[in-house]
């Protein structure tokens, strides 16, 4: 679905620029306990190695209110160190429609490619939420902090992804558990209905924990960023990071591993 942005953005360049440009990296995410928007952020912040100043400038370019709201911090789970994107958002009580969010993205200072990817992600999310509730995508409302949180996770992830511009993005099959999650509509089963809606054609595998492993934001990002699913790609690893979300699963692995490097032929 929607792989047109990132199928082979660099495939035509290799023959002409072999000496003056390194080939585009391969990016993989191995989702041991699933994926969420903040895990995407932590992983891509580590892969791009963006400086605090550049991060601040990028946040302000998305939306001035997001200034200073993301910090990459060390986090330990079961004595294993990793990274976590700590997010502190201002309180806003606006309900935004898809049209509101798309115009906000269009009016902001992100790169054109970042804008296109973020708009595509939000459109997929609105289509999925709409299908669940019997609404058209235009009728879907993104509520309050949830809306701001999604804007941050999606826009920043898309901008960082464009900065990396991998030639391939490979995700592991997604871990799925049974259980439930509390939301505005009460107690709902997992995977959340919007995730379920986007799961067509996506490889999944059982997860020993219980509860939500993959969030709607992460699912929409995987689809919009053109993820292919499978084992580790052939690559020479140059950067890697173990990242944690806010949830900790007992008796099950925690976190996701991001790695990127040069493509290899074996």
- Residue-wise pLDDT tens digits, 17-75: 444 456 899 999 999 999 999 999 999 999 999 999 999 999 999 999 999 999 999 99
Using one digit for the tens of pLDDT, what is the confidence trace for 164-178?
Answer: 999 999 999 999 999
Please provide residue 162's backbone torsions phi and psi, each rounded to the nearest 5 degrees: -65, -40
171 contacts 228 by C-beta, under 8 angstroms: yes
Closest by Cα among 175, 176, 161 to 227: 161
Closest by Cα among 187, 182, 181, 243 to 213: 181
233 contacts 258 by C-beta, under 8 angstroms: no
pLDDT at 7: 46
Using one digit for the tens of pLDDT, what is the confidence trace for 214-241?
Answer: 999 999 999 999 999 999 999 999 999 9
Q: From CA 204, how far away is CA 97, in angstroms rounded? A: 31
Residues 6+ positions from 203 with CB-CB distance below 8 Å: 173, 174, 229, 230
Tell whether pTM > 0.85. yes
pLDDT at 144: 54
> Which residue is it, tokens 């390194």?
22
H or E element in which residue 127 lies: helix 112-133
Check pLDDT > 80 for residue 261: yes
CB atoms within 10 A of CB 76: 10
């Amino acid at each position: 679905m929607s792989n047109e942005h990132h199928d082979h953005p660099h495939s035509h360049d290799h023959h002409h620029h072999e000496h003056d440009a390194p080939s585009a990296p391969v990016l993989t995410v191995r989702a041991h306990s699933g994926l969420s928007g903040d895990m995407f952020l932590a992983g891509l912040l580590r892969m791009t190695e963006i400086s605090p100043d550049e991060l601040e400038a990028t946040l302000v370019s998305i939306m001035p209110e997001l200034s200073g709201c993301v910090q990459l911090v060390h986090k330990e789970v079961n004595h294993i160190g990793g990274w976590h994107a700590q997010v502190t958002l201002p309180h806003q009580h606006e309900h935004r429609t898809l049209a509101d969010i798309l115009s906000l993205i269009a009016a902001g200072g992100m790169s054109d490619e970042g804008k296109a990817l973020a708009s595509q992600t939000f459109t997929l999310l609105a289509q999925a939420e709409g299908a669940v509730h019997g609404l058209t995508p235009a009728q879907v409302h993104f509520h309050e902090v949830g809306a701001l949180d999604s804007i941050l996770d999606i826009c920043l992830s898309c901008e960082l992804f464009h900065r990396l511009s991998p030639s391939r993005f490979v995700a592991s099959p997604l871990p799925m558990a049974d259980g439930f999650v509390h939301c505005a509509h009460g107690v709902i089963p997992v995977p959340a209905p919007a995730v379920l809606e986007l799961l067509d054609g996506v490889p999944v595998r059982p997860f020993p924990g219980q509860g939500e492993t993959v969030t709607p934001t992460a699912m929409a990002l995987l689809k919009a960023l053109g993820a292919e699913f499978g084992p580790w790609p052939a690559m020479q690893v140059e950067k890697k990071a173990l990242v944690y979300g806010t949830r900790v699963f007992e008796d099950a692995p925690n976190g996701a591993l991001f790695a990127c490097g040069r493509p290899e032929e074996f």
